[in-house]
Structure 1
Amino acid sequence: MSAKAAWPKAVLFDLDGTLVDSLPDIHAALNETLTSLGEPPFPLEAVGHMVGAGVQVLIARAYEALDKPLDPATRDKIAERYLAIYAARSTELTTLNAGASDAVRLLADRGIAVGVVTNKPGAETDAILAHFGLADRMAIVVGGDAGPRKKPEPDLLVFACRQLGIEPHEALFVGDSENDVDAAKAAGMPVVAMRGGYTAKGADALGADLVLDRLDAVLDHLDDLRPAGH
């Protein structure tokens, strides 16, 4: 009997709410954007339920919560304003989540490709990874502006795997939201959900293959997450 191939060949992480707690900076940038336009600010918890689907959706959800109509052209202009504000402060209050640095380092040391697949634009993603010293460990970084459809569609994950020269079932995805779990399942990729992320639905109710509290605990469960038949 031939030995099983090494698995996974890659571990891909979501960024916001998974590798990092970026909500305080997103919250501050959104409120600065809104107040500059004469709108009231939101509390931190409310913004936490708006993030995860990209900047345009963040702005749309904010104005929906304000009960104000917003056409696509205006939404996009406000999104541009938000991004300019956010880019200037994207790491002021953002922190690494528990076990993030060790998880990335230990996986890379094992020869497993490590990457980030996020709906956040690529430039802001790169800035955060560089700030925390994680950029050099990344085999691939795919932002929401890379071209393929954003999560919860599987396209960004499939794109990342193709860039790495592997099939989706050869990778593991780690996220924190319903969008992450749905995208991974649609791609045919095992998925871990992290507690404490940005989702109105608790991590245990997302339907992930495994739910964890710390990112470095992923390394203890890799054999358990291997897809059947692989």
Structure 2
Amino acid sequence: LWPRAILFDLDGTLIDSVPDIATSVNLLLVSEGLVPLTVHEVRSMIGHGIAKLVKRAFKARDIALEGARHVAMTERMMDIYKDHLTDQTVLLSGTEDILRHYQGTGCRVAIVTNKPEGFSREILDHFELSAMIDCVVGGDTGPERKPAPDMLLHALKQMKVPASDALMVGDSPADIDAARAAGIKSIAVHGGYTPVPASELGADITIKDLNELPDAIAQLKH
């Protein structure tokens, strides 16, 4: 059996959460008397965790958030976003079928995301996906965040699977760079939250959406 474990990113890979994240960012900006961002602008800011997102959002309004103020704004963003986790967020095409399929084959399935673990679990519960997932590693779980390899290696340790038997599926440079650093094969999915085209991320294979994952895995086996 290969892979024995698949590590999935969450935002932009399994779910489209941009509308809810954009709503939350804009509630924060407006509360500070700032002009809201477009959904398109917010989309390109996602991927390195909420603190980085908040910093980028304020920078887009010519405000450099540092130190205690950055911490305070990040905490406010967390408070706002926790009330809007699943208002407009939807599953991306193939998500449920793919998770069910690989869980059924005996492959271990993990979510490795820079989103906070609690928020991630709440979203998975909302979509009734939690039973198909063996391990969730979030941006606040402990290990250093993607693009460092630590979160991926932490998930594999929990599931007792070596890196050579694992596969990372994601949509951003953070995902693919983390996989490379961990010595894990990777598949990049088009249409995620990155200004860099999926085909340029350096993954072993690029797919249009998750429905193409089984064929891509068959190619990687050979």
The number of equivalent residue pairs is 222
Q: 2:216 aligns with which of 192, 208, 221?
A: 221
Q: What letter matches 2:67 in structure 1?
A: P
Paired residue for 2:57? Answer: 62
Per the normalisation by structure 2, the TM-score is 0.97
Q: 1:154 aligns with which of 149, 152, 163?
A: 149
Q: Which ranges in structure 1 are unaligned for 5 or more consecutive residues?
A: 1-5
Query: Matched residue of 2:96: which SS?
Result: helix
- Report the Cα offset of residue 216 of structure 1: 2.8
Q: 2:176 aligns with which of 176, 181, 186?
A: 181
Q: 1:14 aligns with which of 6, 9, 14?
A: 9
Q: How does 1:131-210 map to 2 (within 5 A)?
A: 131-210=126-205
Q: Deviations over 1:117-142 (max 9, x none)?
A: 00000111001111111111100010
Paired residue for 2:27? Answer: 32
Q: 1-side partners of 2:91 and 2:167: how far apart?
A: 20
Paired residue for 2:97? Answer: 102
Q: What letter matches 1:82 in structure 2?
A: M
Query: Matched residue of 1:73: which SS?
Result: helix
Report if the CA contact (8 A) 1:107-1:219 is conserved: no
Q: Which ranges of 4 or more aligned residues in structure 1 deviate by more than 6 Å?
A: none
Paired residue for 2:82? Answer: 87
Q: 1-side partners of 2:67 and 2:95: how far apart?
A: 36
- Report the Cα offset of residue 64 of structure 1: 1.5
Q: 1:118 aligns with which of 103, 107, 113?
A: 113
Query: Matched residue of 1:88: which SS?
Result: coil
Report if the CA contact (8 A) 2:207-2:216 is conserved: no
Q: Deviations over 1:174-204 (max 9, x none)?
A: 0000111100111000111110000001111
Q: 2-side partners of 1:111 and 1:67: how far apart?
A: 50
Q: 1-side partners of 2:26 and 2:174: how far apart?
A: 24
Among the aligned pairs, what percent are the same residue? 42
Per the normalisation by structure 1, the TM-score is 0.94
State the Cα RMSD in Å: 1.1
Q: 2-side partners of 1:14 and 1:198: how far apart?
A: 11
Q: What letter matches 2:130 in structure 1?
A: A
Q: 1-side partners of 2:75 and 2:94: how far apart?
A: 33
